[in-house]
Each structure stands twice: as C-alpha cells, then as structure tokens.
Structure 1
Amino acid sequence: MTNNIIQRHRRPLLRLRQALASGTVRLGFIGGSITDARPRYNWPEPVIVWLTEAYPHVRLYVENAAIGATGSELAVFRAERDLIDRGCDIVFIDYAVNDHEEPKEQRMRTREGLLRKLLQDGSRDVVWVHTFCQSFYRAMAEGGVPESITELEALAEHYQTGSVWMGLHAMDEVRRGQLRWEEWLPDGLHPTERGSLSYAQSVIAFLQAELSEEQPLTATDERHELPEPLNPRHWGEAHSLALSDIQVEGPWVTRRWPHVEWIDQVLETAAIGARLSFHFVGRGLSLGFDFGKYASEFRYRLDHGDWVTVSRSRPDWCPDDGWYRMYGIADDLPAGTHHFELEVIHGDTKECRGTNCRLALVGIVP
C-alpha cells in the first residue's frame, strides 16, 4: 500500500445504493471517541447532513454505536444488537487508533471477527475509516503506513471492502496550509470541530464517487460468500453469556443500568470477598465492566487452577465510573468446557479508590 491513496474503492456500495433507491437508509458507525456521537460534532455528523441534503427524498436512520476508549474487542460482541439487528445498510468502522496498542495477533482476531459478522448475511456494505494519533506521525511523515492501518487494509483487500484514510486527508490539508495542526488535533488525538469536518469531507468524497451516476454497478444481488479467513482464530463466532447463568456468593444484584447507554444490565456488588462463577464452552473469555476509579479489582481462576490477581490501569482521564472497559481473560484455551471463578478485592494502588464491581458482559469465543 502506498501512502498517497486516501480512498480505496473495491466493491460498489450495492446495499447502500439499493437502500437509497428504496427511500429508507439505515446508516451505521462503530469505533472509538473520534466517531462517538456524544460530542455532537464528530465526523459522522457532517456525513449525515450531506446525505440528507444530497438525498432529500430519503428517510435516514442513524445507528452510531461508537464508544470512546473502546476497541474491536468490545465491538465484536456488540455487532448483533447495535448494528446488525437494527438493519444497517452500511457500517463505517473506525479502529485504527483504538486497537493499535493491543497485541497484533489479538487485534487481528477481533477485527476480522467483527468484519465477518457484519458481512455474514450479505445485507450491508462495510467501509473502514482510518483516523490518526500521534504514534502514527513518524511513519506517515516518512511516506509510510502505520502498522495498524496496514493490517486493516489487508483485511479490506481480502474481503473487498472500501476504505478511507481520513487521517491522511487531514495531514495533506496541513501540508498544503489549509488546516493548522491545532485546528485539527490540539491533543494529538481528538479532532476539533474543524478537524472532524476534514475527516468528514474525505468520507463524503468517497461516497460521492461511489454513488455517482457514472459509477457502474458491477456486483450482482446474490448473497456474497465470505472468503476463507486470513486468521483462522478470528472471533467471528463470539457471543455473550446471559448474566442469569452466573452463580453468585454474597450480596450481588442484577439491575438495569441507566448510567452507560450501551449497557443494558449489570451484575453488581460493592462487597469485598463477593464471588461469582460460571461454566462456558470455548477457547476464549473476555469480561466487560462499567469501569472507573471507583471500580474494584478482582482475582480469578480458571478450571480450579492458581488465582490470578488483576491490577488495571486508570489513566488520569479515567472517570470515577462510566467507562465500558473490556478485560481479556484467555483466548487460547483447550477446546471444551471450562470453569471460571471471580472474587472481588480492593486494589493496592492509589488509583483504585472503590470496590464497585459492575459486570456488564461475559464474552465467549468458541
């Protein structure tokens, strides 16, 4: 991949074009804080406005499922409820930045799993969008491609999905003197309203090219068969365990969760020494929590082995609670049934200031 290509058109956006012709479009987004709808000015907003202006006869529904400070490890478990079941005709995926600090093997398993889930039934188009963080600067300044983006482009090529390198578009604007760096990324990561507009303009240009009358429709309406996976250990069959299937010891309560909009229910306690356990069938296990500085730590063990004590980082920006955060337990267990146990503890670091254990997701990888 050369460093001067912002848009990559691989397969026509057949599902989006069909939806536009029908008069109803469901537009999906998933990613991190750069795509999150809550700031109200991130790049999806100008894209949405452009679509409403370009296609005034179309009823547009928006499903922005992006959550700040989360990656594809969580997204792969949310794909059905937050995108697929809501009938999205096209989904834009933004995980170049949020995944890049994860181990390469781990992030490629979760990214490909998410992509395969979205493409499985042939009902939607998928477009990768690549944003920017300061860690990407050196490679891009030297005309190269950051490793995280190279990997995503390999997936896009293999599955013939389009992609837009939004970060490169904005950097090119800086090079031409059309955008000041502080207008784009004052903190090196999160774009301002002006920077978000730059990102959006690259996506709008991609859509204009895809939806122009001159663009031929070469794809058929037949269901697309997925190719063989690049990584046979992908998480395409990942699913969640019902909280009601968990056994508890101590003062636990399952409650509807009004504090994080992407969480339906949590299994909650604030009691040191409270325990839970469950059986699962699979090779992988990942837990999702409503996390923050008031969150407890925990220790766990698998299959009655040794106890492992967890000590999670709490960056300065970490809130007291409200961060939907994943913690990976295992991904290469022997096939079969496994037993998991967890005990609530108070962490021994100054960043851990509470004992709230709020389990929101038990993710299983078969």
Structure 2
Amino acid sequence: MQAISGSHQGLHRMSYLTRPAFFVRFLSLFLLLAISSNAIAAPEQDSYGLYHFFQKLRNNQQVNVVAIGGSITQAGTGWSKMSADLIAKAYPNAQVKFVNAGISGTGSNLGIFRLERDVIQYQPDLVLVEFAVNDGGAPDKACIRNLESIIVRLRQLPKPPAIVFVQAASKSGDGHHARHNLVAKHHRVMSVDMQKAIADHMSKTGATWDQLFSDQVHPRTAGHEVYAQTLWQRMQAYEQLPAMTIKEQPKLPNLSGEDLILDGKMITPDFEMDGWVYKQESINGWWMQFFQGSLQSGDKAGTLHLPFYGRTMGLWLLIKEGRGKVRLLVDGHYLKDASAFRPDWYYGAYIHPQLFDQGWHVLSIIPLGVNDQPAIARIGYLLLEDQSKAPAPSPEFWKTTWIESRAKADALAKLSWDVIPVESWQVIGPFGGDHPTPWEQPLVDMNKDFGIKLTGQPDTNQLLTGYQGKSVTWQQAKGLNGWVDLKAMYGLKDRGVTYAHVQIKAPADGKYEARISADYFTYITVNGKRAHEMIEGHGSPHNPVPMVLPLKAGVNDVWLTIHAGSMGYGFLMDLQADRGLEIVK
C-alpha cells in the first residue's frame, strides 16, 4: 500500500480541545428524526459507492482512500492507516493509496471548506469521515447541515466515492453520535459505532479503558487496532453488492432543505490592504503543513472591509504567536471577538453557525491590541463559498450596504465591555438533577416550576427544596473576575438548575449589546419576558456569546436560568461599555 504524498501524511501529533461533555437532543432534532422516519425505507449501505469501490479492488485497480477528521484520525499510524493496510492485505494485487486528512481539533464546520483541498483533489474511491467527537459543541442545525453538505458534495462528483462515518468512542459513553447517525441513516451512509465495538472488546477480552485509550477519547495503538478491525469487518459484509450504475443512485431529500454549502473553499488572502500584508510563514511547526502563509496585521493595521458573496463566512487563524483579538462583524453587526493568540494551541477556526441571506455582504475585521500594544493577527484562510461563481455586486450594494457597514464597523471598533461583578448577582439552587444524565436533556429541569417567579426582585426569604431534597435559599454569588463559580459553590459540575438575578439601570429605552459566557444551557429573562436562549451547543463555556438586552429606562430585572453541562457550571455576563448602564447595588 502506498500513501499519497500531501500535506497530511505522516502525522503523529494528537491533541484534544476542551469541549462540552454532552450534546443536546432537542425539539429540532426530534423533528428531523420524524422527517427521517418518513423517508423511503432503504438498506444502510451506500450501494453505488461501495459496489464500485469493491469492484475496483476485485479488478486489481488502484483505489484512493481518504480519511478526514480530527486528532483521532490525524494519528499517523492510527485506525485510518491501519484500515487502509487491512484493505491492501485483503487485495494484494490492487494498489491502495491512502491520504490522512485528519487535522487535530477540527470538526465538520471546517470540513465543508476543506473538502476540495484535502479530499476531492485526490479523486477518492472511499472517504472515511470522523467528526462526531469534535462536533460535540456544535448546534444541531449547523451540525446536520455540515454533514449533509459533505455527503451531497461528494456524491455530486463525476465518480462519487463510498462514504463511511466512523463514530469514535468516549469514556463518558457519549460520543455525540446521534446527529451523525441520523444523517447517515437518512442518506444511506454506513455508520460504524466504535463505542459499541470498544465495549464489546472490553467485555470479551477483559481489557480496560486505560489499556486502549490515552485519555477520554484518544486511542492507544490497541484501541486503534480495534477501530480498524471493526471498520473493515463492517465493510466486508458489503463486498458482494449487486451491480449498480450512477443513474440508479437514489435521490434523497435533504434534512436541511436548500441550506447546504456545496462549494465551500479555503481562500488564500494573498493581498495587501489597510496595513495588512500577506507573508509566507517562518514558523517551523507541524501545524504549518496546513497553511501556506497568512495575512498579517502590522503595527498600524486598520479595519479590513471585505465584500463577499454567499450565506456563510469564517476565518482560519494562526494563533500560536499572535497577540490580542480580531473583532468580526458582518454588515455592521457584531459577531465575535476571536482570539489571535493562544499559548497552548496553534490555529483557530471561527465559522458563523447561522446562515446569512443569499447575496453580497461586508465582512469587517478589526484588530484589537492588548496592553497598549497592537494586535498581531494572522489569517491563514478566508472560509467562504466559491466567489468565482458570484454575480457582480449591484450599484445599490456599494451605495448602501458597503457604506453603512463600514460606518457601523468603525463605530464599533472601540467597543469595550464591562463585566458584571460577581457580588452583584443573587443566586439560588441547585434544583433538579435527579436524572442519571441530566445534561443530555436539560430542558426537562429548566422548564420545571421549582417555585421561582422570574419577574421583579427575588423573595430573599424563600426557603425551597433543591437537589437531593436539600433546603436552598438566596445567597450572594461567589467567584472570581466576573465568573460566578457555581461548581465551587455547590460541588456539582454536570447537573442542576440555578436561578440568578441582577438589576441593571438603563438611561433610556433601547436594545443594549451584551455577552454571556455560561456552562452551559441558559435562559435570559428581562422584566418578565424571555430575551435569549442558549439551549444547544455553543462551544467552550468561556467563549462569550453576543446577545441583545431589551431594556427600559430605569431599573430592569434580569434573570438567568442556568443548567450545568460541560463540567464547569458557572456564568459571566458583560455589558457594552459607554452606554450609560449601571448595576444596581
């Protein structure tokens, strides 16, 4: 067996980014399950792709095997390479070429942009997809859309490859498989459950988790061998499929409708503009094989305003040797302050999880320095739909959207945040938490009536029954640097509902920018009305999520309903500075 030379070959580095140790099956997912159950009943396997893959092997032809995923795939001699070796051993007269397109810490949201460079260019006959673990913190809708985009785009190729989903195991038993299995079943893609395979192997042999894995999710050599053997055994069951032509490949409706991203590209920003310059990178690190260079902000770099066409947008940043942050806006609307530096990691991708309207937009990138030093930001790739297919912008776009977006971005260039002090919050809890795995169904407890009325000020004389029948009452929050540390207060990290209250005085009626960082699921209620929800994955609990608080002139009562979920349990809220907001003591 030969390995195709490329940017992903021979990697041994494995890393795991902290992600929520759960993922939520909510109404949207159940609706999708209902849609899937009404689809035409069909065998699990991708008949066309698998038939032609095995036909080429039987005919002693060359087959190209590409594995795309995160660090579990990236392991240089791990399950993906072992699987290709098993195929080559079973068909010694065929030529099996293998490409490892695993990139540590990445999920299907980046995968839809990586397909062209990292998979399609190798003309694959078999594509192995391993994203379930790293997709754990993604919202349901975005995750399903990404997976469908990968499948449909590959099947639209002139010679569609066989596709197999490899669902990695985790020590907690929750490998975030449900959404992947939903999509696989609907699109007749083989899905291999490694959680079950590992459990069966441990039961049969007496092996322990620590003998098979180096941590919660990363296999040792013995674990990789179980993965590879399991995958090949599943595939062998379909070696003798009946002949099938591409015209007989069934056309299935998409769970995501017309929202698929089928032309995502990693666009090299090799231009010079507003103090930003594209340079070849001099950093010598294993991760640089994924990048050619980067668009770098100089000492006097200004705001980048870039027109783009399509419904999605993202950046892939090099962050090992940067400084500060970049503020991202689309059409003048604030999206996120993305870190330009992390001492413990190498790159970071931000892809906006919601789709924009189809059309022309303006991406504004504002470098934010730190400690009176300018930002050092490195943009490796812009993540966009294929811009070569875009129609020309209309004159109206340049007259209105372009000018207005730049003006709004310039006004937000100096946007800063005031953290609500920990001691300003009153909290009561924890409640609920009796289910063995409450983080999987947090709405059950979040929607229960535990005797708290989310309006006005709290009744601080209340004495209620909380978790495990213990009496709870209102108390001043405890924590550090704005983070209310409920984990430390209660000794819980994966269960329980807490209610928190603070009063905010506004100078006038209006909508005020705010951000919430929370572990993990959150309702925000303002003056008795629900203002914001975070009930799906939103990445790291310490990543601030932008929101808007509808406040009235005078004193406003702001309530949070917080459910644990990512082993941290806590929250932090900050408010846009310079808007005249005050915290009522």
Q: TM-score, normalised by structure 1?
A: 0.82
1:310 paired to 2:337 = yes
Cα distance change, pair 267–15 in 1 and its aligned pair in 2 (3 A): farther
1:114 paired to 2:137 = no
Write the distance in 2 (CA, Å) between the matches of 1:153 and 1:87.
25
Aligned AA for 1:65? A
Secondary structure of 1:69's aligned partner: coil
Residue 227 of structure 1, aligned match among 252, 255, 258 = 252
Match runs of 1:57-68 below 5 Å: 57-68=93-104
Aligned AA for 1:100? G
Secondary structure of 2:363's aligned partner: strand
1:237 paired to 2:263 = yes
Match of 1:4 in 2: none
Q: CA deviation at 1:228?
A: 2.1
Q: CA deviation at 1:266?
A: 2.1
1:332 paired to 2:359 = no
Match of 2:460 in 1: none
Instruction: Mark the runs of 5 or more structure 2 residues left unpaired by the alignment.
Output: 1-32, 34-42, 387-585
Residue 95 of structure 1, aligned match among 122, 131, 136 = 131
1:357 paired to 2:377 = yes
Contact 2:60 2:93 in 1 (8 A): no
Write the distance in 1 (CA, Å) between the matches of 2:250 and 2:212.
40
Match runs of 1:92-241 below 5 Å: 92-121=128-157, 122-135=159-172, 137=173, 148-211=176-239, 215-222=240-247, 224=249, 226-232=251-257, 233-241=259-267
Match of 2:491 in 1: none
Cα distance change, pair 330–34 in 1 and its aligned pair in 2 (3 A): closer
Q: Deviations over 1:83-142 (max 9, x none)?
A: 11211101000011110111111211111111111111242110111002244x2x6xxx
Farther off after superposition, 49-58 or 171-180: 171-180
Contact 2:323 2:370 in 1 (8 A): no
Instruction: Mark the runs of 5 or more structure 1 residues left unpaired by the alignment.
Output: 2-6, 140-145
Q: CA RMSD in A?
A: 2.9
- Which structure shows the bigger proportion of residues in strand conformation? 2
Secondary structure of 1:266's aligned partner: strand
Q: How many residues are matched?
A: 337
Write the distance in 2 (CA, Å) between the matches of 1:358 and 1:252.
10
Secondary structure of 2:238's aligned partner: helix
Write the distance in 1 (CA, Å) between the matches of 2:229 and 2:87.
12
Q: Deviations over 1:193-249 (max 9, x none)?
A: 1111111110121132222xxx232533537364221102222233344524x6621
Contact 1:8 1:164 in 2 (8 A): no
Q: CA deviation at 1:189?
A: 1.2
Secondary structure of 2:247's aligned partner: coil
Contact 1:116 1:226 in 2 (8 A): no
Aligned AA for 1:340? L
Secondary structure of 2:365's aligned partner: strand
Match of 1:24 in 2: 62
Identity of aligned residues (%): 22
Q: TM-score, normalised by structure 2?
A: 0.53
Cα distance change, pair 239–356 in 1 and its aligned pair in 2 (3 A): same
Contact 1:255 1:268 in 2 (8 A): no
1:252 paired to 2:272 = no
Farther off after superposition, 81-90 or 223-232: 223-232
Write the distance in 2 (CA, Å) between the matches of 1:23 and 1:338.
47
Write the distance in 1 (CA, Å) between the matches of 2:327 and 2:255.
35
Write the distance in 2 (CA, Å) between the matches of 1:53 and 1:248.
53
Residue 294 of structure 2, aligned match among 261, 266, 280 = 266
Q: CA deviation at 1:251?
A: 4.6
1:72 paired to 2:114 = no
